[in-house]
Amino acid sequence: MPSLLVIGAGPAGLTAAYEASKLGLNPTLVESDRQVGGLSRTVNYRGYRFDIGGHRFFSKVQLINNMWEEMLGEDFLLRPRLSRIYYHNHFFNYPLKAFDALIGLGPIEAALVGLSYTKARLLPRQEETSFEQWVSNRFGDRLYRIFFKTYTEKVWGIPCNEISADWAAQRIKNLSLREAVLGALLSTNRTNDGELITTLIERFQYPRLGPGMMWECCRDLLAARGHETIEGVHVESIRHHRGRVEAVYGRTGDGQRAEFGADNFISTMPLRELVFSLDPMPPDHVLQAANYLRYRDYLTVVLIVKRESVFPDNWIYIHSPEVRMGRIQNYKNWSPEMVPDQSRTSLGLEYFLWEKDDEWRWSEQRLIERAIKECSQIGLIDAGEVEDGTVVRMKKAYPVYDQHYKTSLAILREYIESFSNLQTVGRNGLHRYNNQDHSMLTGIFAARNIIGERNDVWSVNTEMEYHEEARAEKAPARDRLVPTMIPCGVSVGADKPVDADKPVDADKPVDADKPVGADKPVGADKIDDELISAAFARLDPLALGVSVSIVTALSLFLSTVILLLKGGEIIGPNLSLLSNFFPGFSLTWGGALIGMIEAGIVGFGLGMLIAYLRNWGIEAYAALLSHRAQVKAQNEVLDKIL
């Protein structure tokens, strides 16, 4: 059984090991912390549980949804979502609602916002390469300054006009235009259960005891199958020779050195750190590229408040520039079990900063005092209501997309790919601003690559939908074991029988040149364009005019001829009424010819008219769909900033 060493027991590392175990490999994980889950861990302070931020679970990747269900079963809750924006002493609904915004801003500011919006729509900025330009073009300058600028700059610590267009493109841009149009055409905006996808913004899934529960469960499932997660060992160096990693060296908290050998290695440690751990060191240009990668750090202050209910939201975006916090979480509203005592509320104030900032080194006490002051300043609590607090600092929470990162990534990717048994995955491993689901997907892809698949982990991005069915057709021709994992909470036996006789897709051919997962995002827009133009195909007015003309002309001519051949005292009394419309038409051979010409002309005009009207109608409908999709995309924009 080939062995695999996974560096890091966050979502990507644990998922890679989980998948590898299913594939019949023998994974072991090394984690520097004393807790699994990485950025998606749940911290437990005196029974109060909290996330690093709040971690919603939702994914368009069915494979991931299945995996989450498989791991947690009934412990995976469906929760309602409420989140508002706090600005200038007012709570604005989020997504923004026109009437509410009008009340909150006051009539004069609202009018100015309206004017600036109209200007942006009529005279948009031609260039749309920065976050500032993107938002201003859609909301107007004034609304951008009120609702986006301060908050985004709090989060990223970079002026909005310096935030790369790539970031806007990956996180925001027209994310749902495709979805909405396809949904309208194909009813794809429903899940397998028939549930509307739009509800994802109103509800989300969440483990009963926070996201860490998922990852602790994953670790336990792996342990039950004999796969160890070694906690408290920080990987420092990776020895390699002739394009193969031979061993990984780590250090425990008490300074002991540990060596790990394996046939294959998957790393989820930050890419910059991975490159600097390699022994021998990579060439200078690679080290230089790694040095350019930057990360935004994060700090959360948790306050325990002696009140049963402080506010109804899961979280509130704090746009007001008077306070430093960027967002505030109310963990009890994520799951009631996040607090040990229902008469108390735990609030998580989120601060985004650089490790080099003074604030990062402030004492816990000072940070808590500032948090209490800010919370009372915006009227959420009275200072005397806070009975306790704690601080958690998290380095490298956000990979930064700046001017250099793309060029650096290309160099680093090429270098890492020169190793035959080392892959880097996950959020910081790929320097990709991914949520859990896409971080996990990269772990799955990497595990599958070990058994011969050719998945491109670098192509996984936030808009990606991955279809397992597509993979089934491309899976390599080899026997694979697919044991079932039993959700946590249900007793798990390490001896769970494996259906070894059941090869999956063993006889299916492999499309070796086409990496799985790479195909959907790359060609997606083109496919959609084709689909949309097929569904909304324009009618050619000339062609329809000629067709209708021929049909009407021949119909009238043949009807007249048949009646003439039948003969009788009075020929065609009803048809002859058409002479009121077609001058010169009569139930005679000459009249038949004149009627045919006139009916042809009228038919031609009618056909042209129908074609034009239909084309205009379709264009208006397509524009309406596009507008709706844009509104939806805009409504979700804040979710994409964080």
Ligand X SMILES: Cc1cc2nc3c(=O)[nH]c(=O)nc-3n(C[C@H](O)[C@H](O)[C@H](O)COP(=O)(O)OP(=O)(O)OC[C@H]3O[C@@H](n4cnc5c(N)ncnc54)[C@H](O)[C@@H]3O)c2cc1C
Q: 450: closest CA among 23, 9, 67, 63? A: 23
Work out whether 32 is an interface residue with ligand X (CB under 6 A). Answer: yes
Tell me whether residue 267 or residue 586 sits nearer to ligand X (CB atom): 267
Tell me whether residue 11 or residue 183 sits nearer to ligand X (CB atom): 11
Residue 80, H or E segment: strand 76-80
Q: Choose the stretch contacting ligand X; rule: CB under 6 A; options: 34-42, 127-135, 411-419, 556-564.
A: 34-42
Work out whether 462 is an interface residue with ligand X (CB under 6 A). Answer: no
Work out whether 271 is an interface residue with ligand X (CB under 6 A). Answer: no
Q: Choose the stretch contacting ligand X; rule: CB under 6 A; options: 11-19, 75-83, 113-121, 416-424.
A: 11-19
Give me the DSSP letters along 440-455.
HHHHHHHHHHHTT--B
Q: Report 365-424 residues binding ligand X (CB under 6 A).
A: 397
Of 94, 167, 260, 298, which lies in the binding site for ligand X, with binding defined by CB under 6 A? 298
Position 219, amino acid: R
Shortest distance, position 40 Cβ to ligand X, whole Å? 4
* Position with the least CB separation from ligand X: 10
Q: Choose the stretch contacting ligand X; rule: CB under 6 A; options: 52-60, 154-162, 177-185, 314-322.
A: 52-60
Residue with structure tokens 């290695």?
A: 265
3-state SS class at 588: coil
Shortest distance, position 62 Cβ to ligand X, whole Å? 15
Tell me whether residue 426 or residue 515 sits nearer to ligand X (CB atom): 426
- Tell me if 504 sits within 8 A of 475, measured CB to CB: yes
Shortest distance, position 142 Cβ to ligand X, whole Å? 29
Give me the DSSP letters along 413-481.
HHHHTT-SSEEE-STTTTT----HHHHHHHHHHHHHHHTT--B-GGG--TT----HHHHHHH--SS---
Shortest distance, position 269 Cβ to ligand X, whole Å? 3
Work out whether 235 is an interface residue with ligand X (CB under 6 A). Answer: yes
3-state SS class at 515: coil
Q: Report 527-586 residues binding ligand X (CB under 6 A).
A: none
Upstream peptide bond of 509 is cis (omega within 30 degrees of 0): no
Distance CA(189)–CA(370), nearest Å, equals 44
Q: 406: closest CA among 293, 282, 295? A: 293
3-state SS class at 299: strand
Work out whether 297 is an interface residue with ligand X (CB under 6 A). Answer: no
Residue with structure tokens 């048809």?
A: 575
Shortest distance, position 115 Cβ to ligand X, whole Å? 36
Alpha carbon distances (Å) from 316 to 84, 313, 329: 5, 7, 7
Work out whether 10 is an interface residue with ligand X (CB under 6 A). Answer: yes
Tell me whether residue 218 or residue 372 sits nearer to ligand X (CB atom): 218
Tell me whether residue 8 or residue 207 sits nearer to ligand X (CB atom): 8
Shortest distance, position 321 Cβ to ligand X, whole Å? 21
Residues forming contacts to ligand X in the complex (CB under 6 A) are 7-13, 30-33, 38-40, 52-56, 234-235, 268-269, 273, 298, 397, 426-429, 434-437, 439
